[in-house]
């Protein structure tokens, strides 16, 4: 099943953006990170996404997603 998903993603990225190998897709998405911060007084947890590379942003667009660069509260 995972092989099928990887090949389908590779096909869609090549169709809508440019040909990227599964290894390049994996590497680009692996660099997308989120840091979690906790406010000790309120015990609230906040997520701070990292910046996204142009290739990773295109992969997100192919999937119909928009990567967020704005901090948000985790509930």
Q: Sketch the domain layout of the chain as residue ranges.
A: 2-74
The closest of 51, 50, 58, 48 to 24, measured between CA atoms, is 58
Mean pLDDT of 21-32: 95
Tell me the C-alpha distance between 39 and 21, whole Å: 41
- Percent of the chain residues past pLDDT 90, beyond the cut: 95
Residue 10 in tokens: 């590779």
Mean pLDDT over each residue of the chain, to the nearest integer: 94
Which is it for strands 34-38 and 45-49: parallel, antiparallel or unpaired? antiparallel
User: How far is residue 23's CA from residue 29's CA, in Å, rounded to a whole number?
Assistant: 10
> In this predicted structure, what is the pLDDT of residue 69?
86
In the three-class reduction of DSSP (H, G, I as helix; E, B as strand; rest coil), residue 56 is classed as helix
**pLDDT of 68 above 90:** no
Q: What is the pLDDT of residue 27?
A: 95
Count other C-beta atoms under 10 Å from residue 52's C-beta.
20
């Amino acid at each position: 099943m995972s092989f099928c998903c990887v090949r389908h993603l590779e096909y869609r990225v090549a169709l809508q953006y440019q040909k990227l190998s599964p290894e390049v897709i994996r590497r680009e998405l692996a660099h997308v990170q989120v840091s979690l911060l906790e406010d000790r007084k309120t015990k609230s947890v906040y997520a701070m996404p990292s910046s996204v590379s142009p290739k990773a942003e295109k992969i997100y667009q192919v999937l119909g997603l928009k990567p967020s660069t704005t901090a948000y509260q985790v509930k």
